[in-house]
């Protein structure tokens, strides 16, 4: 019995089948981020709207999708919905589940970002007779976005790892492909260690993207020059 | 305590602001009750009174930052109601206690945004207008910096320049020196004084009684959401009529 087959581990690190899985993981994450941001923005705006029914709908949505595990959501979409005549492929199910789940978190992050911009900013913009669009895009959003970056980054880091749950509904992303390779030679530790290294590389890369973003959008926050 | 009754005897074409029986409440709290007031064009009016008396709410109603519940407000003859809000805001500039500069824009961009966006001024022209206003308040050498890099007094002068870049006819000041370190109050008051001498119509909520005495044409004393007294400054300080104003003055003048 071997302890750890270094050659096999290194082999998995250079395995194109696994690297392809990394690509799928990145694609799932990217789609989850984009879809989650768009849907999350809608949910956040609804929750901040004056109309009570909109607030209720948004509140219910967030309660539902933050209150249930992503794994359960994925399984319900992929294996449960066909019972109601709604049949989605594995990838479509994964995308839908990831977006619905991520949107609930992003909605709250976006909302807190907007709420953190002082009311005086809006009032000053109104007093200057800026129109609603300019107030939102030029005055409020840039300030709110700066505050959203750290929690959004956190959430995206979580999403990156959460895509591994899509393996359960047979989406061939990094985790699923690792399992498939494992079943070929049963080098369990070697292949999953390689998968872990890939995940670590992805989250590290994301850190490297997030940091300059924070710096760029926070460039106006600085100590007084002396 | 008797309420001040405006005689509205200023001719219509000389009125910058006119408020008729204006009411405003926040939930159960009545912030303004039956406000009658006419402000003449070119006049500098100081509004004072204890905290919670409705001073800020009053001037915030003039440019519709707060919506009045009842009564009529006219700004340069334009009735403040839906559809007219933008016209009124173009004629009024506002300076806030907390400056409210846009922190993510440079000083120059702060002053250029509204002329370019609301007045559709070309960039070059907006920059010239903004620089001219920044020069008038002596912060032109800070134009490329962000607000967080300036002192409080400088920031408030920028806020004045930003409002003036829209070429308003009326300026509203909401406790412009209350958030400043003592040594920076003077530079802001000097700027306001110069503006008053140039003939700007100004409504100033302030506790700076020296400014009121020296610069204002009339002092308005408010209490409990009502205007209690409207007087020439010398008269107000020498001989306040209401007991409430006497008490107020005895507490703020040491």
pLDDT in tens for each of the 226 residues of chain A? 568 899 999 999 999 999 999 999 999 999 999 999 999 999 999 999 999 999 999 999 999 999 999 999 999 999 999 999 999 999 999 999 999 999 999 999 999 999 999 999 999 999 999 999 999 999 999 999 999 999 999 999 999 999 999 999 999 999 999 999 999 999 999 999 999 999 999 999 999 999 999 998 888 886 544 4
Nearest CA in chain A to B87: A129
* Token couple for B103: 């922190």
Which residues of B lie inside 8 Å of A (Cβ-Cβ)? 63-65, 86, 89-90, 92-94, 96, 98, 100-105, 113-114, 117-118, 145-149, 159, 162-163, 166, 172
Residue A191 within a domain: yes
Q: A44 with A57: CB under 8 angstroms?
A: no
Instruction: Give domain status of residue A1, yes or no.
Output: no
Instruction: Identify all chain B residues contacting A138, using CB atoms and an 8 Å cutoff.
Output: 113, 117
Cβ atoms B213, B23 nearer than 8 A: no
Structure token digits, residue B225: 């959401």
> How close B145 comes to chain A (CA, Å)?
9
Q: Please, which residues bridge with residue B17 across strands? A: B39, B75
Interchain contact, A130 vs B103, CB within 8 Å? no
């999403």: which residue's tokens? A159
A131 lies in a domain?
yes
Alpha-carbon gap: B89 to the closest alpha carbon of chain A (Å): 5
In 3D space, the residue among A198, A192, A206, A197 whose CA is nearest the CA of residue A159 turns out to be A206
Residues 93-132 of chain A with CB under 8 A from chain B are: 118, 120-121, 123-131
Task: Tell me the shortest Cα–Cα distance from B68 to chain A, in angstroms.
Answer: 16
| Three-state SS at B44 | strand
Q: CB of A1 within 8 Å of any CB in chain B?
A: no
CA of A118 vs chain B CAs: smallest distance (Å)? 9
Which whole-number Å values give the CA distances from A25 to A11, A172, A195, B28, B185, in the listed order? Answer: 20, 9, 11, 55, 59
CA dist B46 and B43 (Å) reads 10
For Cα atoms B97, B102, B107, give the angle at the middle one, nearest 5 degrees.
Answer: 100
- In chain A, the residue whose alpha carbon lies closest to the alpha carbon of B115 is A128
Residue B114 has its nearest CB partner, among A118, A123, A128, at A128
Per-residue pLDDT at A106? 97
**Rounded Cα–Cα distance for residues B81 and B79 (Å):** 6
Q: Which residues pair with A45 in a beta bridge?
A: none
Quick check: B139 and B161 in contact, CB under 8 A?
A: yes
Residue in B with minimal Cα distance to A225: B149
| Confidence tier at B6 by pLDDT (50, 70, 90) | confident
Find tokens 């007031």 and name the residue.
B37
3 state DSSP class of B86: helix
Whether A12 is in a domain gets the answer yes
CB proximity list for A14: less than 8 A, separation 6 or greater:
none
pLDDT of residue B1: 53
pTM: 0.86
Q: In what order do the strands lie in the sheet with B92-95?
A: B92-95, B170-174, B201-205, B44-48, B218-223, B226-231
Is A218's Cβ below 8 Å from some Cβ in B? no
Please choose, from the candidates A129, A50, A135, the residue with its C-alpha nearest in 3D space to the C-alpha of residue B64: A129
Do the beta carbons of residue B14 and residue B38 sit within 8 Å?
no
Read off the CATH number of the domain in which A132 is found: 1.10.3720.10
- Whole-number Å distance between alpha carbons of B184 and B180: 6
Beta bridge partners of B8: none
pLDDT at B148: 94
Are A214 and A149 spatial neighbours (Cβ–Cβ below 8 Å)?
yes
Give the count of domains, chain A.
1
Asked if residues B23 and B34 have their Cβ atoms less than 8 Å apart, the reply is yes
Domain range for residue A127?
A: 6-225
Closest chain A residue to B66, measured at CA: A123
CA distance B142 to chain A (A): 12
* DSSP annotation of B2: P
E-strand ranges in chain A read none
Q: Answer yes or no: are the C-beta atoms of B68 and B32 closer than 8 Å.
A: yes
């Amino acid at each position: 019995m071997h302890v750890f087959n270094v050659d096999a581990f290194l082999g998995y690190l250079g395995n194109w089948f696994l690297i392809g899985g990394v690509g799928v993981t990145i694609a799932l994450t990217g789609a989850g981020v984009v879809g989650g941001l768009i849907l999350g923005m809608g949910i956040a705006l609804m929750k901040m709207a004056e109309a009570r029914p909109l607030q209720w709908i948004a509140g219910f949505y967030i309660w539902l999708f933050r209150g249930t595990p992503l794994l359960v959501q994925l399984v319900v979409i992929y294996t449960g919905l066909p019972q109601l005549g709604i049949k989605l492929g594995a990838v479509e199910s994964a995308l839908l589940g990831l977006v619905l789940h991520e949107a609930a978190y992003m909605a709250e992050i976006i909302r807190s970002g907007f709420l953190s911009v002082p009311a005086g900013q809006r009032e000053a913009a109104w007093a200057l007779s800026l129109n609603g669009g300019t107030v939102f895009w030029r005055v409020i959003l840039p300030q709110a976005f700066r505050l959203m970056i750290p929690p959004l980054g956190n959430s995206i880091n979580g999403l990156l790892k959460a895509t591994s749950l899509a393996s359960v509904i047979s989406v061939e992303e990094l985790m699923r492909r690792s399992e498939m390779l494992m079943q070929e030679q049963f080098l369990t530790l070697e292949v999953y260690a390689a998968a872990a290294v890939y995940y670590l590389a992805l989250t590290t890369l994301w850190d490297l993207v997030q940091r300059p973003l924070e710096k760029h959008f926070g460039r106006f926050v600085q100590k007084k020059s002396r | 305590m008797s309420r001040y009754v405006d005689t509205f005897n200023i001719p219509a074409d000389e009125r910058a602001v006119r408020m008729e029986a204006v009411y405003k409440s926040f939930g159960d709290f009545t912030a303004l009750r039956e406000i009658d007031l006419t402000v003449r064009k070119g006049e500098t009016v100081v509004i004072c009174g204890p905290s919670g008396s409705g001073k800020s709410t009053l001037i915030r109603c003039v440019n519709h930052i707060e919506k009045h519940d009842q009564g009529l407000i006219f700004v340069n003859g334009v009735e403040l109601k839906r559809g007219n809000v933008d016209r009124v805001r173009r004629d009024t500039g506002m300076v806030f206690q907390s400056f409210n500069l846009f922190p993510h824009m440079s000083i120059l961009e702060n002053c250029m945004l509204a002329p370019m966006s609301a007045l559709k001024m070309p960039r070059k022209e907006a920059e010239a207008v903004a620089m001219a206003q920044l020069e008038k308040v002596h912060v032109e050498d800070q134009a490329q910096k962000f607000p967080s890099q300036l002192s409080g007094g400088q920031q408030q002068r920028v806020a004045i320049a930003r409002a003036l870049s829209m070429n308003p006819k009326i300026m509203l000041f909401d406790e412009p020196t209350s958030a400043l370190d003592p040594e920076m109050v003077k530079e802001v008051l000097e700027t306001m004084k110069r503006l008053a001498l140039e003939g700007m119509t100004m409504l100033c909520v302030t506790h700076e009684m020296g400014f009121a005495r020296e610069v204002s044409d009339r002092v308005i004393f408010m209490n409990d959401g009502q205007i209690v007294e409207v007087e020439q400054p010398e008269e107000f300080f020498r001989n306040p009529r209401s007991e409430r104003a006497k008490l107020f003055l005895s507490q703020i003048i040491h």
